[in-house]
Homo-oligomer: A and B are copies of this chain.
Amino acid sequence: MKFILNTNELVSALSVTTHALSPRTTMPILEGVLLDASEEGLRITCSDGAMTISSLVEASIEEEGRIVMPGRLFVDVVRKLPSAEMMFSAGQNMIATIKCAGSRTTIAGKPADLFPSLPEISAESKVELPQPLLRDMIQQTSFAVSADESRKILTGCLLEIADGEVRMVALDGFRLAVRMAPISPDINKMSAVIPSKLLQELSKIVSGGEEDMVTMTFGASQLLAEIGNTKVYATLLEGEYIKYRQIIPTTWKTAVKILDRGQLALCVERASLMAKESKTNLITLTITDSLMTITSNSEMGDVYEEIQVETEGDDLKIAFNVKYVTDVIRAIEDDEFILHFNSGVSPSVIVPVEGSGYTYMVLPVRLNA
């Protein structure tokens, strides 16, 4: 096989596909990068067994062929080459030669037939989303998935399409995050649970603007996400997702409008420093009219913070695991948003001031008052 392309092209394709490169694995071939030179161009594929990423790059193909290069070494060598044309060639012996400017590197590859082939997906449903929307959906929900492998289904995010809405949902038993957006009502109803690791990697790849789309094709147990010339394959999580809609409270006794997310973030961060010194990791919010105080304490001392808010309804004292609060402050986009409470022991709901694009529900920790 033999092809010529600019090192920059190869580096940028590798930087995408290597998100699926296995650092160490029980299948040594997966430590490699599959190069497939054919008339469609140069296809570069990495797989960690659960997720496969494959990118097509334009290259001048002088001789078709396939080879698996040792992943880490190949990527490091290519990254250090000057930005120039490089020629890659390999013979029957699977010894590859890379020539670029005054540099010549030979690296022993492996036959490509050892590398698993790309999954075939029989499309059951298909959805197209703008890349920034998918990125936001992932960033606003995936932090709330469960880390508990014994309830595997909750380690993924539910993607749900129904009634002209697309929703992404994550929950771990203590909190729940839902991001919603309108979608064409022509798209068929569907739902699938996507592993959060895949979503994390996907959110790094979908860097495009509003006009750039991701096409997601769902098979019975597989997902194919297409982003430009890149295809991402992954296995979906199997099982029934929790019926989450019925657990979100829809009425409240106290509504607190936060006026400055940045200020709240800093107050909570400071309270978090002291909370982390104790084993409970708690912060307490106390709402008295338009004053909200945020307090925490440990053997080392205590922190008291106050901020001005707009309150409707009853005064309230409520405590949370500080991580569940910092996570949502980071995820929410708006400067102003609303906290809904029913009592110090009932779930709280955090929503934007307008619209229903985002909902975060979190259980409080009962205070020994």
Contacts and interface: CB of A to CB of B under 8 A. Distances in A.
Interface of A: 70, 73, 76-77, 80-82, 95-96, 102-108, 266-267, 269-270, 273-274, 277, 299-307
Contacts of A104: 303-305
Contacts of A269: 80
A81 B277 CA distance: 18
A104 B271 CA distance: 10
Given A80-B266, A80-B269, A270-B80, A103 B303 contact: yes
A305 B353 CA distance: 62
10 contacts: A70-B300, A73-B300, A80-B266, A96-B301, A102-B305, A103-B303, A103-B304, A103-B305, A105-B301, A108-B301
A76 B270 CA distance: 8
B73 A277 contact: yes
Given A73-B277, A103-B305, A305-B102, A108 B270 contact: no
Nearest to A73: B300
A104 B305 CA distance: 6
Contacts of A300: 70, 73, 107-108
A274 B73 CA distance: 8
B270 A103 contact: yes
A266 B96 CA distance: 21
B270 A81 contact: yes
Nearest to A303: B105
B301 A103 contact: no
A273 B108 contact: no
A277 to B, nearest CB: 7
Contacts of A82: 266
A297 to B, nearest CB: 9
Q: Which of A81, A102, A305 has the most CB of B within 10 A?
A: A102
Can you list the 8 inter-chain pairs with the closest CB atoms, starting with the nearest?
A107-B301, A104-B304, A106-B301, A102-B306, A80-B270, A105-B303, A76-B273, A103-B305
Nearest to A75: B273
A304 B105 contact: yes
Contacts of A80: 266, 269-270, 273
Contacts of A304: 103-105
B73 A103 contact: no
A103 B70 contact: no
A70 B73 CA distance: 45
Q: Which of A266, A269, A273 has the most CB of B within 10 A?
A: A273
Given A73-B274, A82-B266, 4 more contacts: A76-B273, A102-B267, A103-B267, A104-B303
